[in-house]
Structure 1
């Protein structure tokens, strides 16, 4: 005859066995779900890599429309690609999804310019290019048929043993054109009516690139002082003043004239109709842009004035639709350094000790001394194509149709 305690013991054992079995089932279900989740994650990552490769291999801009596709035609590998322009760069947003699982990426696209070996391009206006002092041109140069020559300026001869540390080629009468589509897009943004726009709030702001862009007009005083980052566009139909206390990251500003206070540091794209004035000791991180899009029949000369000891990592360009008597001008002051590209459909004024690590293109160089204005003279400047970072990517604004696309910068 069994004792009553044996039944109690059997119930306890059965309960423990049930708990253990249930735990094993739950653990197996958890690990199975985790395993399936990892498989979906890996599949999404592969789909994302395929989508990024598709975008980079696509010739020309993808356009502003949303593209949705099934990569393998099985109904389980769907991706959507929303592409548009962010300033002078293409900016796709890619989402790969399986059921409710989604991963997304956004980035700026640039053009690989390693095959372009030009350090200098000067349009042929039947005037030679003169070099003097400690000027150094490293890389190929396209200059007028009248060529290059050594000259004395302020009783100083040219100190180099070669005119160009590279090839000397003949230039054409005009510059290589900028992208008509991009110039059209910039003009549209610069001429937008700001009266219906919401005024920029006073607080700091970050706008994700995975959502809709935020567009604001700059307050009446035209001063930007806060911390602004992300997919944020600012407009003004007059002037904008960017304070040295402002912190801008990826922000775009469109205005008739823009002034950057001395000592400012940030990353932004600035586009103006009349003028851009950059104070001394400003640091603009890659990929910053200073862009001037002039109007026809302008009364005053449209210009970009860059102060002393300024560092610009990116692109500086000026454009006018038709060549005028008051050609656009880019002025780069003493000891200023540009790591990228400088392009002017008019004049470029160079201060002593300035340098361009990349490429510079214009119709005419000018240099001002206390007593004389020199045309097509390079005095104590450094133009070094080979010093540009090998990871540098340019913009399709410069009509880089046959060049390979690359990821310039990841966004969030």
Structure 2
């Protein structure tokens, strides 16, 4: 009798354990499905925002039944940062991403503004993809006895360009101007520079600011952090930077710097040799220097490029030169120079003159090319420069007007 009772109790316990296990598995299956569905909805909210790319100062909150949605967008350097949150059945999922303009079949690999002057290519120059050129087209030339070496003038198709470059979003220009004018220098919540700083993109950004020069030597800084100096920022190869934004009138990136960063300057950017800035990085010179009158003398400093990228440096992302004051008279000033051996995977956008000798795998937009060779200046010449197709699938870059958008990077 007692044995039968023991067996009954054991059977009951086993059945109870089985029922409890089944219930727990069912519960976790439901919760897992809820998490996956909420995560998918969070992604969908970001994807739905792509066509408009509207920046807002406030978080947009909408409620549908037991589901609450939050969406916040603002500029983050060269890209737009989108924060999405879905909360339902006590499940809260957050996602943050950088978005930018995508390429299509009509997007330029080269866009040279129509200044009624042909493009002249010399040496090992190569043009692939869509070349938007002045109505005078492209022709082969020579510099100091060096002739064009290619079998064809271009490897793609040629389309006539307009007198102005494709427009970028004016709201983005206003955002850059606010940053350049020191909008963050007087932030009450500015933090001190430390050897190690990490800050998630899911929270409001942190700011480090100083009225004097900031030197980044052995610091390890990552995340949603902005560093701004009223004078100058110098980055050494021993610094570890991941996802940060640098803002200063002058920015110097020393030789062999490696990392992922965005730099915004108003006077000068110098990038040393052997650097590697991974995607999505951006270097932006928003030139606010006063334009000299033609009657004023030209100093040796005026002849130096405002923005220089040195040999054997690789940049994955955007290289941008913008002018606050449009100047069409200074035709021989070099504003942006990429030395022989440099490589940019992404895009170059220059509202001035570019001395282009490196490789761009993506797109080049410029008002005019300029070649400083053998003591002479050659207008609208490319000497040994190569413009090739972008190897990054679904590359997302600068905020062009009326462009399609996609995700450049998911943030953490």
Query: Structure 2-normalised TM-score?
Result: 0.88
Alpha carbons of 1:298 and 1:246: their partners in 2 closer, same or farther (altered >3 Å)?
Answer: farther
Q: Is the 8 A contact 1:347 1:365 kept in 2?
A: yes
Q: What is residue 406 of structure 2 aligned with on the other side?
A: 406
Matching of residue 204 in structure 1 with residue 207 in structure 2: no
Matched, 1:343 2:333: no
What do residues 202-243 of structure 1 show as CA deviations (whole Å, max 9, x unaligned)?
A: 221111111121111158441113111111111111100011
Aligned residues: CA RMSD = 2.4
Select the residue among 358, 366, 373 that pairs with 1:369.
Answer: 373
Match of 1:131 in 2: 121
Alignment partner of 1:304 is 2:293: no
1:271-299 CA deviation, whole Å, 9 max, x = no partner? 00001100011111111111011226256
Whether contact under 8 Å (1:328, 1:345) holds in the other structure is no
2 CA distance for matches of 1:15 and 1:170?
A: 88
The reply to whether residue 238 of structure 1 matches residue 242 of structure 2 is no
Which ranges in structure 1 are unaligned for 5 or more consecutive residues? 1-5
Alignment of 1:3-402 (within 5 A): 16=10, 19-20=13-14, 22-56=16-50, 58-70=51-63, 73=64, 75-192=65-182, 194-196=185-187, 198-218=190-210, 220-225=212-217, 226-295=219-288, 297-298=290-291, 303-324=306-327, 325=329, 329-351=335-357, 354-384=358-388, 386-396=389-399, 398-399=400-401, 401=402
Runs of 4+ aligned residues of structure 1 deviating over 6 Å after TM superposition are none
Deviations for 1:288-344, whole angstroms, at most 9, x for unmatched residues? 111011226256768211111111111111111332355671110111111111111
Distance in 2 between residues matched to 1:39 and 1:199, nearest whole Å: 41
TM-score normalised by length of structure 1: 0.88
Rate the CA distance shift 1:44–1:249 in 2: closer, same or farther, 3 A. Answer: same
Aligned length: 396
Change (3 A) 1:280 1:39: closer
Q: CA deviation at 1:139?
A: 2.0
Give me the whole-angstrom Cα distance separating, in 2, the residues matched to 1:269 and 1:221: 18
Label 1:296 to 1:164 Cα distance change in 2 as closer, same or farther (>3 A): same
How far is the alpha carbon of 1:154 from its aligned partner? 1.5
* Residues 341, 23 of structure 1: alpha-carbon distance in 2 compared, 3 angstrom cutoff: same
Cα shift at 1:143: 2.4
